[in-house]
Structure 1
Amino acid sequence: MHKLLLNFQDEKLLRQALTHRSYVNENPGEVHNERLEFLGDALLTFISGEYLYRKYPEFAEDEMTRRRSALVQEKQLAKFAIAVGLDSKMRLGRGAIQDRGFQSPNLLSSTFEAVVGAYYLDRDRNIEAIRPIIEDLFNSVPQMTVEVRSNVDSKNLFQEWVQTNFGTILPNYVTQRCGGLDHAPEYLAKVLVDEQLYGEGRGCGKKGAEKRAAEDALSKLKKQGLI
């Protein structure tokens, strides 16, 4: 068993991190992992940023931003989830299992984020306890893979445009569920800059919806001749 799962002190916290909403709907009394997922996403964003800042002192902000996005994108987090054994431990409802939920990049990445958030809480909110485990996973990603993926990330491209034209202002993604099934929810994302709407997108996961919102924003900018 991977050390990320082996060292949990609070088994209830780990069980919650592994529990998808579809399982809760069939098992009243259980608690799903969405709040832990939110926390884990924030931790991974911070740890990856600090990791790249320290590892690549020669890189400018735009390059580090692209690489950070590559390290924490859905497909890469799903690979991390499989590497630590989450593909066989997620607690899913029957519908999600029938829809091959154990192989779903969206469910795998979300569960990985939740487990990271849970581990942080399990270790008395000590980020130094989770950092070396996450950085070991980052180190396992081939550098070329990071470079290729980073070049096609729409959220990074849009953020670079925003920073070029607005300085320190960053895109703000407002994402909420808009439909779908419990084991396959659909999300709508809107991306705003300085409270102005630039693009919208839908996806089966929050990250997918945000990516499509960025793509929509870039498409509109191209039509306006701004990029």
Structure 2
Amino acid sequence: MAFSRLPVPSRANAFQVQFNMTFQDEALPSETFRASGVPHRDGNDGNKSLAQIGDTVLQLYLQLEGRARRASRDHISEVTKKVAGNANLTQRGFALGIDAYIHNNPSQGSYISDKLMATTMEAILGAVFLDRGRDLAAVKPVIIALGLTWPE
């Protein structure tokens, strides 16, 4: 099925089905996949505020994981930069087909930039974190599903 041909609200629902998750806050899924510049009653920032939270959540998760593994501070920093970096987020997002769910800025057409993909991956984590009562442990299964875990 070509998700990009689905109506915009259906894309977020399709994501939830594919990744076996549901949101209590029904506004979060559409915000998660809304690119900056898409006209909306809440403003044109799209998923950027969720991405900011998601970036912090992912970095905290990786740093705590490194500490639990008794990794050195330098190694924790290196892994965090690699896993939470835009290049990895972009690669993972496209590999998982996340681009099919994004409601892009009309001026961009169907083109999904690397930056938008990285931002959307972070927004997914931010949305889950907020939806699950700001519980970092509740985000772990999503981090795993997105392939953003500490490398073995």
Q: Which amino acid aligns with 1:138?
A: L
Residue 70 of structure 1 aligns with which residue? 82
Q: TM-score, normalised by structure 1?
A: 0.52
Residue 121 of structure 1 aligns with which residue? 130
Q: Equivalent of 1:52, from 61, 66, 75? A: 66
Residue 110 of structure 1 aligns with which residue? 119
- Matched position secondary structure for 1:20: coil
1:2 touches 1:85 (CA, 8 Å); kept in 2? no
Q: CA deviation at 1:39?
A: 0.8
Q: CA deviation at 1:2?
A: 1.5
- Matched position secondary structure for 2:27: helix
Does structure 1 residue 36 correspond to structure 2 residue 50?
Answer: yes
Residue 142 of structure 2 aligns with which residue? 133
Q: Which amino acid aligns with 2:30?
A: R
2:84 touches 2:148 (CA, 8 Å); kept in 1? no
Q: Which amino acid aligns with 1:43?
A: V
CA separation of 1:94 and 1:123: change in aligned 2, threshold 3 A: same
| Distance in structure 1 (CA, Å) of the matches to 2:55 and 2:84 | 8
Higher strand content, 1 or 2 = 1
| Distance in structure 1 (CA, Å) of the matches to 2:68 and 2:128 | 23
CA separation of 1:112 and 1:75: change in aligned 2, threshold 3 A: same
Q: Which has the larger radius of gyration?
A: 1
Residue 12 of structure 2 aligns with which residue? none
Q: Structure 2: 5+ residue runs without aligned partners?
A: 1-17
| Distance in structure 2 (CA, Å) of the matches to 1:87 and 1:73 | 18
| Distance in structure 1 (CA, Å) of the matches to 2:76 and 2:128 | 26
1:23 touches 1:92 (CA, 8 Å); kept in 2? yes
1:22 touches 1:96 (CA, 8 Å); kept in 2? no
Q: TM-score, normalised by structure 2?
A: 0.75
Alpha-carbon displacement from aligned partner over 1:161-180 (angstroms, at most 9, x marks no partner)? xxxxxxxxxxxxxxxxxxxx
The percent identity for this pair of structures is 23
| Distance in structure 2 (CA, Å) of the matches to 1:30 and 1:96 | 20
Residue 2 of structure 1 aligns with which residue? 19
Superposed structure 1 runs of 4+ greater than 4 Å apart: none
Residue 35 of structure 2 aligns with which residue? 20
| Distance in structure 1 (CA, Å) of the matches to 2:114 and 2:121 | 10
| Distance in structure 2 (CA, Å) of the matches to 1:30 and 1:14 | 14
Q: Structure 1: 5+ residue runs without aligned partners?
A: 144-227
| Distance in structure 2 (CA, Å) of the matches to 1:142 and 1:123 | 25
Higher relative contact order (CA 8 A, sep 6+): 2
Q: CA deviation at 1:46?
A: 0.3
Alpha-carbon displacement from aligned partner over 1:168-226 (angstroms, at most 9, x marks no partner)? xxxxxxxxxxxxxxxxxxxxxxxxxxxxxxxxxxxxxxxxxxxxxxxxxxxxxxxxxxx
Aligned-pair RMSD on alpha carbons?
Answer: 2.1
Q: Which amino acid aligns with 2:103?
A: R
